[in-house]
Amino acid sequence: DATALVTLRMAVAAIAGSVTLVEIGTDFLRAVVLGLLGGWVVAEVASVVRRRVSDPVLDTTLSLVVPYSAYLAAEKVHGSGVLAVVVAGLILGHRSPEIQSAASRVTERTIWRTITFLLESVVFVLIGLQLRELLMAANASEDSNATIAGFVLAVVLTVVVSRIVWVYPATYLPRLLPGVRRAEPDPPSWRHVALVSWAGMRGVVTLAAAFSLDPQTPHREVILVTAFGVVAGTLLVQGTSLPAVVRLLGVRGPDQAQDALQQALVMQRAVEAGRDRLDEVAGNAPPDIVVSLKAWGERLAHSVWERLGRSRPDQETPAQAFRRLRVEMLQAERTVVVDVHRSGKVAAEVLDGVMERLDQEEALLSSFTSGTASSDSDVLAPLMTDACGHLRDEPIVAVPASDTDECQDCVAIGIHDWVALRMCLRCGHVACCDSSPNRHAEAHFHATSHPVMRSVELGEAWRWCYVDSTLG
């Protein structure tokens, strides 16, 4: 989009005066270089400021100022303001975990999501309100309706075909370079490339770009009607036919269970890193505080693992039970705060602080899992994982047809409260997972030193090494 808008500006400049191809190329290069440079400079300055700002309100305000600053700075030196905004946003977004507090990121994410929704909606509404006048103006122009309709159809076809013509070479020609082939040994499937080439719907940027043309631009009303035609044509034809194209090509969508497994692995590694850091800095901290912090980290990790399939889908997982019970407690606590507020015995500012704490905790609880991620095929380990030696030595073993529907250790002591089941690849012992209250799978590892367990849940074939804490 940014490149297209820069190109549009060059085209408008070419229409406005007598310029040569060399001049257009020079202007384009200057706009790109100065735009990139301007965005980088603004991002560097904003990064320095953000490191010193801890208030989420001020930090979010800064995020609203940065795009305008980048745009105006680049335009001042005849660079591309659009590219400057894109570059500044990419740099600041990449650095946000290092230069922003968690509260600032959460606040900024919520506000920008709202702003994006409002801007896109308002642009479509404002442009739609002008559609009738545009059609009347186009009808009154020197071009006949048949000519305009033919022009719109020609542009729509050009947009669709040019994307197809571009996507295939852009995907496969770079693979002629040895470095690209080494980085990505497997070429993209032609089915995926075909799907990408067809998914070329146009939207708000196309309309906004057309409306940015000077009112004195020749045939402006025809251009605007054409922009509407491109947006409507691609949305109605390509957009509505996309599900059928997906089915025709046999392309599978994102696997929820695969994503949940990768998320669980990342969360597990993060929690383990946090636990190791806690052991380093705990010092003389009260033991109950240390235990509570470790339990909180485990609860976070388990809540993600529990998104995967489990033996009894109708059974409430520990994370779900924790969330449900804590929400009930928060509702009772909030009722008391409201009653105190109505009594007028405590200042409103004090109660606002209490209510904010309760709201923050409930918002945090909403990030806990709800539901189960399903899959149409066996879920294996994420591609990001490098198998350890134990995983290489213990290949995936088929799950027996029987004796894998219950935790053998839980049944032996007369309980049935497991969440999910795991099977030892060395001896075939089936035990409950770490999210279960008794954690018999881990106990089996400590008792036997058998390093690798695999999931025996329906649709799951991933393994876990207890020695190296590695998924495979």
Specify the pLDDT at position 383.
43
To the nearest 10 degrees (0 to 180), the angle between helices 21-51 and 81-99 is: 20
Q: Which tops the pLDDT comparison, 179 or 394?
A: 179
Core vs surface per residue 173-192: b (16+ CB within 10 A) or e: eeeeeeeeeeeeeeeeeeee
Residue 446 has pLDDT above 70, yes or no: yes
Q: How confident is the model at residue 346 (pLDDT cuts 50, 70, 90)?
A: confident
**Mean pLDDT taken over the chain:** 83
* Span of 42-56, 110-124, 126-140 with lowest mean pLDDT: 126-140
Contact assessment for residue 229 and residue 155, using Cβ atoms and an 8 Å cutoff: yes
Sign for the CA dihedral angle at 170, 173, 179, 184 comes to positive
Global pTM reads 0.67
Which of 87, 82, 110 lies closest to 3, judged by CA? 82
- Cβ atoms < 10 Å from Cβ of 286: 9
Strands 463-465 and 430-432: unpaired
Range with the largest mean pLDDT of 179-183, 213-217, 241-245, 257-261: 241-245
Distance between CA atoms of residues 148 and 150, nearest Å = 5
Q: How confident is the model at residue 5 (pLDDT cuts 50, 70, 90)?
A: confident
Q: Name 86's Cβ contacts closer than 8 Å, sequence gap at least 6.
A: 2, 39
Question: For the chain, what is the radius of gyration of the CA atoms?
Answer: 29
- What ranges do the domains of the chain cover? 2-249, 257-365, 389-471
Among the CATH numbers 3.30.200.100, 3.30.40.10, 3.40.640.10, 3.40.50.720, which is that of 389-471?
A: 3.30.40.10
Using the structure block, give the residue that is written with the tokens 């912090």: 293
